[in-house]
Structure 1
Amino acid sequence: MAVKLLFLWLLFCLSWAQEQRCLQSASSCDECIQAGSGCAWCNSPQAHIRCATTEKLWSSGCHGRHIYNPSGSIQVVKDYSGADPADDEALLLHPQEVSLHLRPGVSESFPLTISKATDHPTLEPIMDVSNVPAGVHVTFSSITKGNPQLLQVSVEAAQCPSKSGTSNQNRTGPWSILITPRGFSVSLKLEITLLCECNCTGSHEENSPDCSGHGTLVCGQCECYVSYFGKRCQMNGDSVSPQYEDLCRKGPNAPVCSGRGTCVAGFCECNRLEDPKEYSGRYCECSNFDCPHHNNRLCGGNGRCECGRCVCNSEWIDSACNCSMETTSCMAKNQMLCNGRGVCECGKCDCIPPYVGATCEECSDCVDGCQDHAACMECRAFQTGAKKDTCDKWCAHLNVEIVETKDELQGKLCKMRTNEDLCYFFFSILPSGGQFAVARAKEC
């Protein structure tokens, strides 16, 4: 359990670190998607959070149609079929040409089949990557050897090339690489294109209504014309009107920006807090730290705070994520939750009276059934006792299991003396009341 909690905590920390890296790179769509493989951009003009993980954008109100989160793709351009090699010099590759769109930080792979003459050893592929920017890596791993030989080709880019230097002429490709088995002339053509720019960057809407007709809309953001400013270019020069403050109130009598920010041209700019705390929302009405605590920990340490509400990790519920759905601690010796005499809630048994105990297996007020069943247990296990001659009549209906020692018994343990050899024998009664087990070994 401790290992699992540590794993979940590490996942939470990694997710939080990714969100912070995205939020710090929100000046443009291109910078956003280059900040990390998990960063996405919101194209909506109404967005108050632009760059974050897809989950964060969803929770902030950005609809899926406005979220730009490019992912890599592989397209087989050429893969003609041919006969197997007919002579020592023949060699066939499948496929022959592949086009790959690559998001930096995410590896893409595809299979390469090499059919060769049977007397050739395993072939080593070689390639010339001199025209490919540094940080783009192509590797091979063998899946099967023999004839045909199956390789996996993996391609990954650490980051997008810098805009400065000679690479500025062609930052995103495409670049062509020829992969050739050593000693042969036939090659696979691999064309690589990096996804470093947003597809909305080249689409400009001049005099956009979303920019009050005074600016250009680019990837959901307004680039205001001279003398205009504001999130939607709605302000001209230095003119400021108190009416804009009404646009920053959640209700008629609500404080401006919920008292947590400044109204700038009708839009709230939330106060900056020390990381990881932050205010968000159209009116700065949300926070990621004003959530219920449990054991002095936000959301019990088992979830994250979003707009005043705890979003619990898997296997945790309740308003403060303090209720575990784990049931191991409620499991009784008979492998029943709470011995079938209670309900497992938040990892603890709520027992039905008169049963008590951690797993509802204790009952001091229950009627002792040992004496009532002793005669049947003795005749069923040892063919002795008061009912040895009528055992089939009075005891055949009981479900009795014979085990070797008392250590194998589960449930309520009974210790009774036999009628003939005056030794003690042991049997158990399971909570259901209709199942019994008797140990062969006695104590004399």
Structure 2
Amino acid sequence: MVVKLLFLWLLFCLSWAQEQRCLQSASSCDECIQAGCAWCNSPQAHIRCATTEKLRSTGCHGRHIYNPSGSIQVVKNDSGADPADAEPLLLQPQEVSLHLRPGVRESFPLTISKATDHPTPEPIMNLSNVPAGVQVTFSSITKGNPQLLQVSVEAAQCPRKSGASNQNRTGPWSILITPRGFSVSLKLEITLLCECNCTGSHEENSPACSHHGTVVCGQCECYVPYFGKQCQMNGDFISPQYEDLCRMGPNAPVCSGRGICVEGFCECNRRADPNEMYSGRYCECSNFDCPHHNNRLCGGNGRCACGRCVCNSEWIGSACNCSTETASCMAKNQMLCNGRGVCECGKCHCMPPHVGATCEECPDCVDVCQDHAACMECRAFRTGAKKDT
């Protein structure tokens, strides 16, 4: 029962962390899906970025939900001739195209056939042209000849939009997988799913935008000089001195004290570091003013969005300082914290009187030997408290 409750509690914590990550990534469709969430394209949506289940429960129809998933396509898979008659080694498939969503692992089988007179040790796979942040691993499914491996590919996160690397920040990239000592290779083409494909949802002069803008991914892109959530305000009729439109509230500072008001719009101040910036209707957001852990923004395990950390997968906490990894909490009996505690941030918090790294120690517990000591003394030596019973 205790184990079941701990498991349910862990699921609740992970679900809550995911919802918080989605809410913090709601400024655009791209940011939303990069956080591992789903986006609602409907102009009537009250919540845009959440889990698929949450969006459905708030009334977003399935046809308006954008939640891309990875895919694997075998491009080339020639069986070839008998390896003994041609090359000493045959790989199947020879070319694979992989669409990869960051934080989600995709796997496919790789068959290695060797010539009959060739030795069959465990192959060592060489990789070339692997982009930063992409991890390729191998695990053996069957041994012998032919041998079956599982190839797993995962990207930690989408590359940042900065510098000239923008042109190829999401691929496609070509990786070569070559067994050491051979010339044949598997070509793996990887494309990251980091951007929303909302071209099919454009609506010019949309009523949802007061006929003054275009709906893109469910949001209004207003025509000049209109602005507002539904493009309902006309900038031509705003007095330059009327700064109330640049305040978040009646007594709030103009542009949150981080910019100047120009004709009712905030122009945010620029930072000395070009990677640091203010944003938002009132310059209320920043991408650098987030909690630090170990002197790193968001612990180096996430990104800063509007003053809050959006953590990478497998990390939670206000500073992305808490790992959801549980291997370090696994006891010898393959139970988390021996069923006597809760695994938080990769560490066990034991329920008294249990202690230890995995809650397997209990100095104050009565063990079976202590429990039967009086009986054993009586039976073996005819002495002790129970000698007359």
- C-alpha distance in structure 1 between counterparts of 2:126 and 2:332, whole Å: 66
In structure 2, relative to structure 1, the CA distance for the partners of 1:315 and 1:128 (3 Å cut) is closer
Give the CA deviation at 1:145. 1.2
Of 347-356 and 5-14, deviating more is: 347-356
Give the CA deviation at 1:60. 1.0
Cα deviations by residue, 1:310-353 (Å, 9 ceiling, x for unpaired)? 99999999999999999999999999999999999999999999
Give the CA deviation at 1:259. 29
In structure 2, relative to structure 1, the CA distance for the partners of 1:23 and 1:201 (3 Å cut) is farther
Q: Does residue 1:43 correspond to 2:18, yes or no? A: no
Give the CA deviation at 1:249. 24
Confirm or deny: 8 A CA contact 2:128 2:176 kept in the other structure: no
Of 297-306 and 150-159, deviating more is: 297-306
Give the CA deviation at 1:84. 2.6
- C-alpha distance in structure 2 between counterparts of 1:160 and 1:367, whole Å: 53
In structure 2, relative to structure 1, the CA distance for the partners of 1:125 and 1:251 (3 Å cut) is same
- SS where residue 237 of structure 2 aligns? coil
**Larger Rg over CA atoms:** 1
- C-alpha distance in structure 2 between counterparts of 1:335 and 1:90, whole Å: 43
Confirm or deny: 8 A CA contact 1:211 1:222 kept in the other structure: yes
Give the CA deviation at 1:162. 1.2
Confirm or deny: 8 A CA contact 1:29 1:201 kept in the other structure: no
Cα deviations by residue, 1:32-65 (Å, 9 ceiling, x for unpaired)? 0111xx4100000000101011111111111111
- Segments of 4+ moved more than 6 angstroms: 238-390
- C-alpha distance in structure 1 between counterparts of 2:211 and 2:378, whole Å: 98
Cα deviations by residue, 1:108-147 (Å, 9 ceiling, x for unpaired)? 0000001102343336666665544311011111111110
TM-score computed with the length of structure 1 as normaliser: 0.52
Cα deviations by residue, 1:268-302 (Å, 9 ceiling, x for unpaired)? 99999999999999999999999999999999999
In structure 2, relative to structure 1, the CA distance for the partners of 1:384 and 1:65 (3 Å cut) is same
Confirm or deny: 8 A CA contact 1:48 1:282 kept in the other structure: no
Confirm or deny: 8 A CA contact 1:126 1:179 kept in the other structure: no
In structure 2, relative to structure 1, the CA distance for the partners of 1:244 and 1:216 (3 Å cut) is farther
- SS where residue 20 of structure 1 aligns? helix
Give the CA deviation at 1:193. 0.6
Confirm or deny: 8 A CA contact 1:96 1:189 kept in the other structure: yes
Listed as ranges, the matches of 1:263-412 within 5 Å are none
Confirm or deny: 8 A CA contact 2:3 2:339 kept in the other structure: no
In structure 2, relative to structure 1, the CA distance for the partners of 1:123 and 1:281 (3 Å cut) is same
- SS where residue 14 of structure 2 aligns? helix
Give the CA deviation at 1:175. 0.6
- C-alpha distance in structure 1 between counterparts of 2:37 and 2:136, whole Å: 24
Confirm or deny: 8 A CA contact 2:91 2:111 kept in the other structure: yes
In structure 2, relative to structure 1, the CA distance for the partners of 1:205 and 1:126 (3 Å cut) is farther
Confirm or deny: 8 A CA contact 1:125 1:179 kept in the other structure: no
Of 195-204 and 170-179, deviating more is: 195-204
Of 366-375 and 178-187, deviating more is: 366-375
In structure 2, relative to structure 1, the CA distance for the partners of 1:231 and 1:91 (3 Å cut) is same
- C-alpha distance in structure 1 between counterparts of 2:359 and 2:5, whole Å: 27
Q: Which runs of 5+ in 1 are unaligned?
A: 391-444
Of 174-183 and 9-18, deviating more is: 174-183
In structure 2, relative to structure 1, the CA distance for the partners of 1:353 and 1:181 (3 Å cut) is closer
Q: Which runs of 5+ in 2 are unaligned?
A: none
- SS where residue 378 of structure 1 aligns? helix
- C-alpha distance in structure 2 between counterparts of 1:369 and 1:20, whole Å: 47
Confirm or deny: 8 A CA contact 2:131 2:173 kept in the other structure: no
In structure 2, relative to structure 1, the CA distance for the partners of 1:315 and 1:32 (3 Å cut) is closer
In structure 2, relative to structure 1, the CA distance for the partners of 1:284 and 1:366 (3 Å cut) is same
Give the CA deviation at 1:357. 41
- C-alpha distance in structure 2 between counterparts of 1:356 and 1:178, whole Å: 49
Confirm or deny: 8 A CA contact 1:123 1:181 kept in the other structure: no
Give the CA deviation at 1:247. 21
Give the CA deviation at 1:205. 3.5
In structure 2, relative to structure 1, the CA distance for the partners of 1:27 and 1:90 (3 Å cut) is same
- C-alpha distance in structure 1 between counterparts of 2:134 and 2:343, whole Å: 54
Of 20-29 and 162-171, deviating more is: 162-171
Identity of matched residues, %: 90
Of 347-356 and 201-210, deviating more is: 347-356
Higher relative contact order (CA 8 A, sep 6+): 2
In structure 2, relative to structure 1, the CA distance for the partners of 1:4 and 1:384 (3 Å cut) is closer
Confirm or deny: 8 A CA contact 1:26 1:32 kept in the other structure: yes
- C-alpha distance in structure 2 between counterparts of 1:314 and 1:136, whole Å: 14
Confirm or deny: 8 A CA contact 2:103 2:313 kept in the other structure: no
In structure 2, relative to structure 1, the CA distance for the partners of 1:65 and 1:280 (3 Å cut) is farther
- C-alpha distance in structure 2 between counterparts of 1:73 and 1:353, whole Å: 47
